[in-house]
Amino acid sequence: MTRLILGSSSPFRKALLEKLDLSFDCDSPDIDETPLKGETPKDMVVRLAKLKAQAIAVRHPQSIIIASDQCATLDGNIIGKPGDHATAVEQLTAASGRAVTFYTSLCVYNAATNQFEECVEPFYVYFRQLTTEQIENYLNKEQPYNCAGSFKSEGLGISLFERLEGNDPNTLIGLPLIQLIKILERFHVKVI
């Protein structure tokens, strides 16, 4: 059996992949994630997932690498991880009553055969109209400062939403498992 490597240091992606009950190791890619001039958010996440997979393959040349990247956008502009409380307040205030689009890419790379499969899954988060008090209460309780869009949908962040729209709820957390299962099967890795 070919080794599976999750090319990520994200505890959220690791927890998602564990749902599939597959044996895998994790390795963190070290790549420059700076967007290229004129690059669309969709193109950026595809490029970064492939770069992550290639970086990991150097250390694991006989493995199947699973890599992903994600960005959130509002009005076509990328919303990054806030990093601090003030930025998170700005992001949630801007998203209040509006839709934020997440693009999550997936790249599965068989390093031994140099075979790639890639996809991008969009996911739409429709925010409720939020008060300043609701935003402050949420941020003080969950402190999602390392999460794009300033929320954790798998936690209390669900209270911020009017509705969610997409093919796979795992996509929002960071790894489109439905697409991953299909690709792994084409790579002869059985999930069930």
SS3 153: coil
Expressed as residue numbers, the domain containing 68 is 4-186
Determine, yes or no, domain membership for 110. yes
Give the chain's count of helices (H) and strands (E).
6, 7
Given a contact cutoff of 8 angstroms between Cβ atoms, the answer to whether 64 and 109 are in contact is yes
- Which pLDDT score, from 0 to 100, does residue 2 have? 83
CATH of the domain at 63: 3.90.950.10
Mean pLDDT over the full length of the chain: 95
- Count of structural domains, the chain: 1
Q: Which residues contact 53 (CB under 8 A, 6 or more apart)?
A: 7, 29, 65, 66, 67, 107, 108, 109, 116
Is the per-residue pLDDT at 189 higher than 70? yes
How confident is the model over 167-180, as a mean pLDDT? 95
- Per residue in 75-130, pLDDT (tens digit) is 989 998 999 999 999 999 999 999 999 999 999 999 999 999 999 999 999 999 99
- Which pLDDT score, from 0 to 100, does residue 83 have? 95
Residue type, 76: G
- Which pLDDT score, from 0 to 100, does residue 1 have? 66
Q: What is the pTM (predicted TM-score) of this model?
A: 0.91
Question: 53 or 148: whose pLDDT is higher?
Answer: 53
- Assigned token pair, 91: 């992001």
Computed on alpha carbons and rounded to an integer, the radius of gyration of the chain in Å comes to: 17
Determine, yes or no, domain membership for 111. yes
Q: What are phi and psi of 66, to 5 degrees?
A: -115, 120
Given a contact cutoff of 8 angstroms between Cβ atoms, the answer to whether 111 and 61 are in contact is yes
Determine, yes or no, domain membership for 192. no
- Per residue in 10-64, pLDDT (tens digit) is 898 999 999 999 999 999 998 999 999 999 999 999 999 999 999 999 999 999 9
Determine, yes or no, domain membership for 136. yes
- Which pLDDT score, from 0 to 100, does residue 154 have? 84
Determine, yes or no, domain membership for 72. yes
SS3 108: strand
Determine, yes or no, domain membership for 191. no
Determine, yes or no, domain membership for 54. yes
Q: Catalytic residues, which ones?
A: 69
Q: Which residues contact 27 (CB under 8 A, 6 or more apart)?
A: 5, 6, 7, 56, 59, 60
